[in-house]
Structure 1
Amino acid sequence: MRKKRDLPTKDCATCGRPFAWRKKWAKVWDEVKYCSERCRKERGRRQADG
């Protein structure tokens, strides 16, 4: 078992905060851009308003 600090991380495209790899993202980690569903939805709103 890996420690959380040893997992790969990325920065969220919306809020810029770092987030760690999750098991449910194992197959699509290269495509994950947002730390949460809320940030994913917020990104869509910002582009529509802009």
Structure 2
Amino acid sequence: MKKQHLPEKTCVLCKRPFLWRKKWKKNWNEVKYCSARCRNNK
């Protein structure tokens, strides 16, 4: 994917936008948090 066309989501916890990353390729639909820090501070 080109950087201009990356999908974007908003973090459920901090409400910041974050872009698609290669490590989320297989489970992008399940990703809710922008980082491990947000995921651990549910």
Identical pairs, percent: 62
Structure 1: gaps spanning 5 or more residues: 44-50
Aligned CA-pair RMSD = 1.0
Rg larger in structure = 1
Structure 2: gaps spanning 5 or more residues: none
Higher relative contact order (CA 8 A, sep 6+): 2
After TM superposition, the score normalised by the length of structure 1 is: 0.78
Q: Which runs of 4+ in 1 moved over 4 A?
A: none
Q: How do 1:1-20 and structure 2 match up within 5 A?
A: 1-3=1-3, 5-20=4-19
After TM superposition, the score normalised by the length of structure 2 is: 0.91
The number of aligned residues is 42
